Amino acid sequence: MRRRGLFLVAAAVIVAASATAVFAALSSGPTGGCLNPLAAHYSIQQLSMGPTLIKGDLVVVSSIQSGTPFARGQIVVFTPPAAFAGDSSPFIKRIIGLPGETVSIAGGRIVINGAPLDESYLAPGTETTSQGTETSWVIGADELFVLGDSRANSADSRSFGAIPVASVTGHAAAICAPDSRKVALP
């Protein structure tokens, strides 16, 4: 009886170690966390982030910790302003303007503090236009200016202004599926 108990304990340890090793192998690499059941996943249903994110992509989203620094170019998931919430689905957009910056639209391009922004992630020929009468925004200390990559198909900071940092729920870390689209995100 004692030998059987030791055998069961040893088997449980081996199974647990094997599962841990397999989980670590599957959740590492450029798309790390894609199979992590503890990570949030976001299924792209909007057209606003094409060609970077397209309908049907599954994106792994890292949670944002209080005090986390944001960077221009990061793709974030956030709670949209009430007027745009509709079905209360989160929005996913790219950070363009950071706290304290002035973001403008001029000649079909984004200008940050007077300098044109290089946006190599946009589809060739994409122009940025205003969605209202404003063409310049000063970003507050606890705000971010966000835009979709598919500018013609995006409700974003051009229409609702800068978003509160507190509304950001996560950072898009990687496209997990389909296999042909797997890639780490900025």
Q: Is 28 a catalytic residue?
A: no
Which of 28, 43, 48, 157 does the annotation list as catalytic? 48
Which of 43, 66, 93, 182 does the annotation list as catalytic? 93
3-class secondary structure per residue, the chain: CHHHHHHHHHHHHHHHHHHHHHHHHHCCCCCCCCCCCCCEEEECCCCCCCCCCCCCCEEEEEECCCCCCCCCCCEEEECCCHHHCCCCCCEEEEEEECCCCEEEEECCEEEECCEECCCCCCCCCCCCCCCCCCCEEECCCCEEEEECCCHHHCCCHHHHCCEEHHHEEEEEEEEEECHHHCEECC
- Enter the tokens of residue 103: 């973001």
Q: Is 93 a catalytic residue?
A: yes
Active-site amino acid positions:
48, 93
